[in-house]
A and B are shown apart, each in its own frame.
Chain A
Amino acid sequence: MSKLLEVKDLSVSFNTYSGEVQAVRGVSFDVEKGETLAIVGESGSGKSVTTKALMQLLPKPQGQIKSGEILFEGNDIANYSNKQMQKIRGKDMSMVFQDPMTSLNPTMKVGNQIMEGLIKHRNMARGEAKKKAIDLLEQVGIPHPVLRLNQYPHQFSGGMRQRAVVAIALACNPKVLIADEPTTALDVTIQAQILDLMKDIQRETDSAIVFITHDLGVVANVADRVAVMYAGKIVEIGKVDEIFYNPKHPYTWGLLGSMPTLDSEEEELFTIPGSPPDMLNPPKGDAFAPRNEFALEIDTKMEPPMFKVSDTHYAASWLLHKDAPKMEPPASVKRRMQGFASTDDKDGEK
């Protein structure tokens, strides 16, 4: 397996007037070719900051990579200069942002915005770039691409704009596509179209996608593997089935339990009480402990390490320690796990 992108123990901090905000505190993950890794978490959990750090798009000088390595095809790009990054950004790694209204330049024709990367990175002549741009617009499903090329972003609807942004991101056949909540601002019907589009293109180009979202439904749809982030750390990571049908971390239980499914009956939604911690002073021990009804005494004192559940599945919760008491996950999560238990037997695990 070729690891295209490897992040090792990445920490990012912001210096603010009130002190140092530790947005990301030691995150490690890797992405393979043709794979989609979804990063989920609440706002403020550090998922966007992580990916901005990958692209070196952190606001300078407040945002800083404190430690860690970002290996892209084996090279550590964490310390690349701006000039070196410009060769990677938009070419090998590109990004789709959340809000299509603000990520397009309102004073530039959509066509020129797509052609920009082609001319810069692939040394295309204008005419050639234009042809490619028309292809791209067609590929992302925009009707009348020749006409649309000469229009401005405000003449596009929200869904069309996001398609144009996807077209820009794909222009140079990136090896890694980072999508930061690309469908959050869109309606469900359009969201479904964009997700299908991204999956189709991935199948064709075999690129890796890092997909950030807080919508677990979207995760279930696109992801091969899932990383759950909380308070600047990955608390659970595993294959999509492992996270959805055999979640181990109480925070993952909370996330899954708080979403009603279409067949959920008249029961109260499981909630995670309280709100996320203040990252100016991250709590000692397990950051999730104050909101965790399953918290053990040790959670307030020591941070849990990553416990191995299976070769692909890791979770940071003391509940997985061999001396920990057995805890019953909430009912809705238990229902999910029933299905998984039977598939476990088939694999002959353990």
Chain B
Amino acid sequence: MENEKLLEVKNLQKFFKAGRKNTIKAVNGISFDIYKGETFGLVGESGCGKSTTGRTIIRLYEATGGEVKYKNESVHGKKSKEDMLKFNRKMQMIFQDPSSSLNPRMTVMDIIAEGIDIHNLAKNETERKNRVESLLETVGLNKEHATRFPHEFSGGQRQRIGIARALAVEPEFIIADEPISALDVSIQAQVVNLLKKLQREHNLTFLFIAHDLSMVKYISDRTGVMYYGNMVELADSDELYRNPLHPYTRSLLSAIPLPDPEYERGRKRFAYDPADYETDEEPEFREVKPDHWVRCTEKEFEQYQEQLNNK
């Protein structure tokens, strides 16, 4: 499982025009791989480009530069309708806001079956119905829910509908863009457990985008930290939380409030100011130790290595 690359992102860029003169470099050249069967977590504060990255990978946005390869085939570039369909079936997305990502004028049945219809996965009406009903059961809803409209559901239930819709076309890879941020704590745990269960049962690969670091640590195998359009650190989740190297990662970790008063009283916060680390040299993404990448300059690179060796 470890070795098979499902998705390769190479130097991906996405710029937005802001007015005639300015461009916003939302994603400014990031590279990473996602292996089959893993959950890759992407964290960062709002506006760092993590959602844009997710959306560009699935081609909701056209990339400005760079490449996204899914099973060695480029996602972007000129494609026939058939080719696009093929991709769309393998890659699906779960959105942050469960109320605005479901069409309020469609029944749950039609919302979930939309993908089934587009990809002609059901031969007749009964099969379509059966599929939707079994999907609803998979995500923990009842089949009676199929005839209802989205507004009749609670936030957690709506997110389950969104998950059922993503699963309808039997995808291999799901991009979950802050799927639990809008939900209550007790409901968050339900949805996270569901995602984990689905991953086990359907052998799914996840790109999990979030700003809740403790949840990301819990769900993902590897985690990437983004800061202003760049990936600043990438490592196994455990390694990243144990040995954060980049100052931004450290400041982010030091800011997470933990449900533990004892710990909170002794908390030392660490602020990150990029100006403190400014050099003339353009930092590069380097592998400090096997599978632990940090964006740093040559000098910092040596420091980090020393730091790790002394541990």
Please report A residues at the B interface, Cβ cutoff 8 Å: 42-43, 158, 187-192, 195-196, 214-221, 223, 240-241, 244-245, 254-262, 264, 268-273, 275, 339
Contacts and interface: CB of A to CB of B under 8 A. Distances in A.
A219 to B, nearest CB: 7
Interface string B256-274: 1111111110010101100
Nearest to B191: A271
B186 A260 contact: no
Nearest to A291: B186
B16 interface: no
Interface string B164-190: 000000000000000000001111111
Contact of A244 (B184, B215, B259): B259
B304 interface: no
Nearest to B196: A268
A43 B184 contact: yes
Given A42-B186, A188-B256, A275-B157, A240 B217 contact: no
A344 to B, nearest CB: 14
Contact of B193 (A189, A221, A268): A268
B211 interface: yes
Given A189-B251, A261-B214, A262-B241, A272 B264 contact: no
Contact of A262 (B186, B192, B252, B258): B258
A42 B45 CA distance: 24
Contacts of A220: 257-261, 263-264
Given A189-B252, A260-B217, A271 B189 contact: yes
Given A214-B184, A260-B217, A262-B217, A269 B189 contact: yes
B46 A260 contact: no
26 contacts: A158-B46, A187-B45, A187-B46, A188-B211, A190-B45, A196-B269, A214-B185, A217-B257, A217-B258, A217-B264, A219-B259, A220-B258, A220-B259, A220-B261, A220-B263, A241-B262, A244-B260, A245-B261, A258-B188, A259-B185, A260-B214, A260-B218, A261-B214, A262-B217, A262-B241, A275-B187
Given A188-B255, A217-B257, A217-B264, 18 more contacts: A42-B187, A158-B46, A187-B45, A188-B45, A188-B256, A189-B45, A189-B255, A220-B257, A220-B259, A220-B263, A221-B267, A259-B185, A261-B259, A262-B213, A262-B258, A268-B196, A269-B189, A271-B186
A273 B186 CA distance: 8
B218 A258 contact: no
B150 interface: no
A187 B262 CA distance: 23
Given A188-B211, A262-B214, A255 B260 contact: no
Contacts of A42: 184-187
B9 to A, nearest CB: 24
Given A187-B211, A258-B189, A275-B157, A192 B269 contact: yes
Interface in B220-262: 241, 251-252, 254-262
B162 interface: no
Contacts of A221: 257, 264, 267
User: Closest 10 CB pairs between A and B?
Assistant: A217-B257, A258-B189, A260-B218, A216-B259, A187-B45, A192-B255, A269-B189, A272-B186, A42-B184, A221-B264
A219 B262 CA distance: 12
Contacts of A269: 189, 192-193, 218
A216 B185 contact: yes
B24 to A, nearest CB: 15
A240 B256 contact: no
A261 B193 contact: no
B265 to A, nearest CB: 9
B184 A191 contact: no
B61 to A, nearest CB: 23
B257 A273 contact: no
Q: Which of A214, A258, A270 has the most CB of B within 10 A?
A: A258
B43 to A, nearest CB: 9
Nearest to B188: A258
A233 to B, nearest CB: 16
A194 to B, nearest CB: 11
Contacts of A215: 185, 257
B49 interface: no
B147 interface: no
Contacts of A256: 259
A188 B190 CA distance: 23
A217 B261 CA distance: 8
A258 B193 CA distance: 10
Given A192-B269, A269-B218, A275-B156, A255 B263 contact: no
B218 A192 contact: no
B185 A258 contact: yes
B305 interface: no
B103 interface: no
A192 B157 CA distance: 31
A240 B32 CA distance: 42
Contacts of A214: 184-185
